[in-house]
Amino acid sequence: MSTPLERGVETLKAQIDARVESYFSSCTGCGVCAEACLFYLESGDPRYTPIYKTEPLRKVWKNEHTVMGKLASGLGMSRPMTEADLSDWEELVYDGCSMCSRCSMVCPVGIDIAYLIRKTKEGLAAAGFVPEGLQTAGERALEFGSPMGLTEKSLRNAISALEKEEGVSIPIDVEGAEYLCMLSSAEVVMYSEYISALARIFEAAGVTWTISSKYFEATNTGVQKGDSRLARQLLERVVDVATELKVKTLISPECGHAYTTFRWDGPNILGREFPFKVVHILELLDQLRAEGKLKTTGSFDERLTYHDPCNICRRGGVLAQPRQLLNQFATNFVEMDEHGDMNWCCGGGGGVSSNERAEPLRLKVFNIKKRQLEALNVSTLVTACSNCRTMLEEGLEHYDMENVEVIGLTELIADHLE
C-alpha cells in the first residue's frame, strides 16, 4: 500500500499536461506576479509570490520532464520530495492563495498561475494535506449535498418561509421550465433575499424557472479542495437534475467559483458537453434588460461602488453586465481605482473562506479593499457573489467600517422593479 507522500507525488506527476509543461518551461522567474498578489503585498513575505506556491508541481516537472532534472535524479543529486515539503506548501497554497488569477493577468509570458495552483492542490489533497475546514466541507457536500450540511428539508423550509413572508411563489421541481436556478448554501441560510428577488424578477419578466429539491447546491468543494474525483461527483449531480427536469438553461447564482465550474471547467471535468446552456444570473438579468423584459423605476441616490468577484469578472468575462444593470437606477455610482478584470479579491476565494486557520491572514490582506473603499467614501458596496459578500462584511466589521452596507446586485434590482 502506498504512503500518503507517494500518493501525493504520483498525483502531481499525473497533473503534468502540455499546459503545465509549457508554463514551467516559459517561466523566467521575473517575479512580476508578486506585485499582483494581495497576499504578497500585504504580508511582505516572498513565500507568497504566486509562482513560488506551485513549487511542488514544478519540482516534479523538473525531475520528470527536463534533461537536467532527469540527469540529476539518475545520479541521486536531486533532493526527493518530503512530507515536510507538502506540509509547508499546504499552508502557502490553501491559506495564501484565493486563486483570483490577478497574477495571471500580469504575467509577461501568459502563464495561468491559477491553473498551476489548481494542479498543485490535487497532489496536496491526494496526500491528505488539506485544511480541516475544507476537508469537512467536502465530506458534508458528499453526504448531504451541501458543504454546510443543508438538506432538502432545510431548502423546503427556507422556501416556505420566504413565500409566506415575502408573498412570492418559488417553483420547485417543475419539469420543462426554461431555467434551473442553482443556489449556494449561503444564499439559503444567510442571504435568502436573493431567492425572493429572483421570484419577483422572473414573475415580472414572464420567465419560467425552477429549483431542484433533489440537488440545489452550486458550490463545488471538490474544485476548491483540489479533488477531481469529488468535483466530478458533485458536478454529475447537477447535470443529472438539470437533465431530469429537462431545462434549457442552468443559472449559476451569485457565486464566483460556481460560475467558473459550471460554465468553463464543467464539460472538461466530466469529459462531455452539457445538454443545456449555462449563464450567470447577471448575464440573464442583463439579457432581460436588453429585451425590455426587466424594467426598473426610481433611483438609488446613495454613493455606491461595485466589487467585481474574481471568477465572474476576471475568469468569466462578466464585466459590462453589472454596470449596465446598475446604471438603470444608480445615480451616484463610482468605480474603485482598480476595478473590472483587475479588481482586488475579497481574500476568501478558492476555499480560503472555509479555512479557519487562514482567517488572520485573510483579514490582514483585506487592507487592500479597505483602502479602496476609504478612497471613495461610499455608503454602499454592491457585489454579485455570496462568498464575496460574507468576506466583505467580515472585513468591514473587523476594520470598524460597518457604515458601509453590502448588498447583492440581484436583490437591489428587485427593489427597483417597475
Tens digit of pLDDT for each residue in 167-209?
999 999 999 999 999 999 999 999 999 999 999 999 999 999 9
Q: Are residues 148 and 282 in the same domain?
A: yes
Handedness of CA 124, 127, 129, 130 (dihedral sign): positive
Q: Domain ends where: 105, 129, 153?
A: 129
Partners of residue 211 on adjacent β-strands: 172
C-alpha separations of 364 from 38, 95, 219, 370 in Å: 10, 12, 25, 10
pLDDT at 392: 97
Q: Are residues 326 and 361 in the same domain?
A: yes
Q: Are residues 261 and 277 in the same domain?
A: yes
Beta-carbon contacts of 57 under 8 Å, excluding residues fewer than 6 positions away, are 12, 15, 16, 20, 116, 119, 120, 123
Task: Give the residue from 51, 55, 74, 50 showing the smallest Cα distance to 64.
Answer: 74
Q: Are residues 183 and 72 in the same domain?
A: no
The CATH number that applies at residue 94 is 1.10.1060
Q: Are residues 194 and 270 in the same domain?
A: yes
Q: How far is it, in rounded angstroms, from Cα 148 to Cα 132?
A: 14
Q: Domain ends where: 97, 129, 161?
A: 129
Q: Are residues 99 and 208 in the same domain?
A: no
Residue matched to cell numbers 426598473: 296
Partners of residue 333 on adjacent β-strands: 304
Residue 27 has, within 13 A of its CA and on its CB side, a CA count of 23
Q: Are residues 284 and 316 in the same domain?
A: no
CA 55 remoteness from chain centre: 23
Q: Are residues 149 and 57 in the same domain?
A: no
Domain that holds residue 45: 4-129
Q: How far is it, in rounded angstroms, from Cα 224 to Cα 221?
A: 5
Q: Domain ends where: 65, 100, 129?
A: 129
Q: Are residues 176 and 74 in the same domain?
A: no
pLDDT at 69: 73
* Number of domains comprising the chain: 3
Q: Are residues 259 and 219 in the same domain?
A: yes
Beta-carbon contacts of 17 under 8 Å, excluding residues fewer than 6 positions away, are none
Tens digit of pLDDT for each residue in 144-162?
999 999 999 999 999 999 9
Q: What is the mean pLDDT for each group of 10 consecutive residues in the chain (418 residues)?
A: 90 96 96 96 96 96 85 73 91 96 96 96 96 95 93 95 96 97 95 96 97 96 94 96 97 88 92 95 97 96 96 93 97 96 95 94 97 96 95 97 95 96
pLDDT at 77: 67
Q: Are residues 111 and 250 in the same domain?
A: no
The one-letter amino acid at 262: F
CB 229 within 8 A of CB 355: no
pLDDT at 70: 77
Burial of 72 (0-12, 13-18, 19+ CB in 10 A): middle
The CATH number that applies at residue 365 is 3.40.50
Q: How far is it, in rounded angstroms, from Cα 216 to Cα 140?
A: 14
pLDDT at 81: 83
Q: Are residues 150 and 114 in the same domain?
A: no
Q: How far is it, in rounded angstroms, from Cα 10 to Cα 37?
A: 29
